[in-house]
Amino acid sequence: MTMISNPILPGFNPDPSILRVGEDYYIATSTFEWFPGVQIHHSKDLVNWRLLTYPLTRISQVNMEGNINSGGVWAPCLSYSDGTFYLIYTDVKSRQGAFKDTHNYLITAKDIMGPWSEPIYLNSSGFDPSLFHDEDGSKWLVNMLWDHRKGKNKFAGIVIQEFSIEEQKLIGPVRKIFKGTELKLTEGPHLYKANGYYYLMTAEGGTEYNHAVTMARSKTLFGPYEVDPQNPILTSSRSPELELQKAGHASLVETHTGEWYLAHLCGRPVKDKYCNLGRETAIQRCCWTEDSWLRIEGGGREPLVEVKAPDIEPYPFEAVPEKDDFEHTELNIHWSTLRLPADPTWLSLTERRGYLRLKGRESMSSLHKQSMVARRQQSFYCEAETEVEFDPEHFQQMAGLILYYDSEDYVYLYISRDENLGKYLGIIQSKGGQYDELLERNISIDGAECCKLKAVIEREWLQFFYSLHEDEWHKIGTPIDISHLSDEGSDYIRFTGTFIGMCVQDLSGTKKHADFDYFIYKENDKDHKEAAGAGVAKAVLGDL
């Protein structure tokens, strides 16, 4: 029996919107302040997945310069009707305090690979918009309604409004069709038609450890909606022993073999309640009861790590190469930049062929113009390595290897210049916005033309290394607890995950550049499991 292993999309891949077109399956996930916007993943069997494309690739579609941390692109909804793909998304500009500025847009494409259209503005009344295509050809936008007023339920329910294809805008009255259940914090709505009912699936309980999937149904589109008597239909709440926590924010798909699956958000803590990889995507097999309610197959409401796969021939994809030699003229699909797309004013793969050249701009604290190229951390046990050529002239110029959650939480192994040491290596940590330098004495590498940098991660522990000669690695500093690089590492709720990558800063404004020869991202889960199974302590970090 073929099994699905959860999470199917490890690392920062939240808010899954699953779609089948023919015998192809797609999942769109949130990208928040990272560019390009919205990851679309592809599968033929629900077991094997690959990152396929991004629909938001132009500033004209989403301009996030200045967007707050964990703002940007929230909760996309991917759908298909009459030969056209539809993508709904929110661009969140602010979310702290009483107000949320949440602008909702629609883009379309005839092919999943694009080209995707310019955006049609929809509304700003709340987030998590979703488009439902009814059997009569009408199209309906649902979203949660945000109420900023004192004493009100800020998650004020789910509203619906018709979208006109002819007029390319929302038309007609806005109707509230669902106020939510006693779990509260009602969001993430998706509408489905099955068994003679309209089903409204929502996320409730908040996107942390009380997260849940709830269901209601109605014989008519506008309700009233009857709440499932066994809600929630999926949750990890009050089950801290489960590997998959935070289960919620789901979407539903029927396979071409007539089987039902629920894609949902989850999180896996590394220690206590800290989820360094962010919120991930898992999938559960479902069935319908005799009285037409949806249930997790096998009974219960808890998310399973191992799930029976559909009756579809396995369709594996080629493994992602561990090493990027920067031999192409464009970044590969796994790289992301902060808030804005890469452009020749600060990034080049052609000025020096075989190298990624980054020109220094603003600091790691900036919400505007950072010169950073990074990829998701997708394993608890992994390592990253790069080689950089950089000749800083003074302390305001830095370049190196970074683990980055957001502008308040990161750890940075960097090269800079000091009046006494000359060119040197140091480690900067920002924890909850508090700046620190972790080495008692920075390490001089004056005279070295290039330097290799490495990060080795085992769950919440990070150890940095450097090398000035081939394969002669030296530890730099002591192991660092990186559990603060997580949704839970702040006084306010955050929604992304840890990225690993390269960056350059020039705080003097002269755009000093650094050249990166390659980047290796390698996952060590298999090595760790084999060592643990043999009773051998695999001390990747050295002597802790």
pLDDT digits (tens, 9 = 90+) for 11-42: 999 999 999 999 999 999 999 999 999 999 99
Share of the chain above pLDDT 90, in %: 94
Residue 534, phi then psi, degrees to nearest 5: -90, 0
Q: Is the peptide bond before 224 cis (omega within 30 degrees of 0)?
A: yes
pLDDT of 391 reads 98
pTM of the model: 0.96
> What's the pLDDT at 470?
82
User: What's the pLDDT score for residue 543?
Assistant: 46
Arithmetic mean of pLDDT, 259-270: 98
pLDDT beyond 90 at 149: yes
Tokens matching residue 180 = 């939510």
Bridge partners of 88, per DSSP, are 77, 106
- At 530 the pLDDT is 54
Give the pLDDT mean for 187-203: 98
Report d(CA 244, CA 6) in Å as an integer: 8
Q: Looking at the predicted structure, is the pLDDT value of residue 311 above 70?
A: yes
Give the pLDDT confidence score for residue 527 in this predicted structure: 65
pLDDT tens string 392-407: 999 999 999 999 999 9
Residue 479 has pLDDT above 50, yes or no: yes
Residues 6+ apart with CB under 8 A from 9: 16, 27, 29, 41, 49, 280, 281
| Cβ within 8 Å of residue 89, ≥6 positions away | 37, 38, 56, 62, 73, 74, 75, 76, 77, 104, 105, 107, 129
The C-alpha atoms of residue 413 and residue 531 are separated, in whole angstroms, by 28
| Sequence-separated (6 or more) residues with CB below 8 Å from residue 258 | none
- Percentage of the chain beyond pLDDT 70 is 97
- Mean pLDDT calculated for residue range 142-158: 97
Under a CB-based contact definition with an 8 Å cutoff, are residues 158 and 184 in contact? no
Could you give the CA distance from residue 229 to residue 300 in angstroms, rounded to a whole number?
A: 14
Q: What is the DSSP letter of 180?
A: -
Model confidence at 210: pLDDT above 90: yes
Mean pLDDT of the chain: 96
Q: What is the mean pLDDT of residues 47-57?
A: 98
Q: How far apart are CA 216 and CA 198, in angstroms?
A: 8
Query: What six digits make up the tokens of 221?
Result: 């589109």
pLDDT band at 492 (very low <50, low <70, confident <90, very high): confident
Instruction: Please determine, for residue 544, whether its predicted confidence score (pLDDT) is greater than 80.
Output: no
φ, ψ of residue 533 to 5 degrees: the values are -65, -30
Q: Does position 227 have pLDDT exceeding 60, yes or no?
A: yes
pLDDT score of 539 more than 90: no
Give the pLDDT mean for 242-255.
98
Q: Residue 132 has what pLDDT?
A: 98
Return the active site residues: 15, 187
pLDDT value at residue 50: 98
Task: Identify which of 121, 212, 218, 213 has the alpha carbon closest to the alpha carbon of residue 177.
Answer: 218
User: What per-residue confidence (pLDDT) applies to 491?
Assistant: 82
Q: In this structure, are strands 323-324 and 461-467 parallel, antiparallel, or unpaired?
A: unpaired
Q: What is the pLDDT of residue 542?
A: 55
Is the distance from CB of 509 to CB of 359 less than 8 angstroms? Answer: no
The strand pairing partners of 504, in sequence order, are 371, 399
Q: What is the dihedral of CA 32, 33, 37, 43, to 10 degrees?
A: -50
Q: Check residue 471 and give its pLDDT.
A: 79
Choose among 365, 394, 349: nearest CA to 517: 349
Give the type of residue at 193.
Answer: K
Q: Are 212 and 296 in contact (CB under 8 A)?
A: no
The CA distance from 276 to 462, in Å, is 12
Q: Is the dihedral of CA 480, 486, 488, 492 positive or negative?
A: positive
Residue with tokens 């950073």: 372
Render pLDDT for 401-443 as a digit per residue (tens, 0 to 9): 999 999 999 999 999 999 999 999 999 999 999 999 999 999 9
- The domains found in the chain, sorted by start residue, are 3-308 (2.115.10.20), 323-533 (2.60.120.200)
Q: What is the DSSP letter of 67?
A: P
Comparing 529 with 112, the larger pLDDT belongs to: 112
> Measured between alpha carbons, how far is 79 from 502 in angstroms, rounded to an integer?
35
pLDDT score recorded for residue 529: 59
At residue 169, does pLDDT exceed 80?
Answer: yes
**What tens digit of pLDDT does each residue of 321-356 get?**
999 999 999 999 999 999 999 999 999 999 999 999
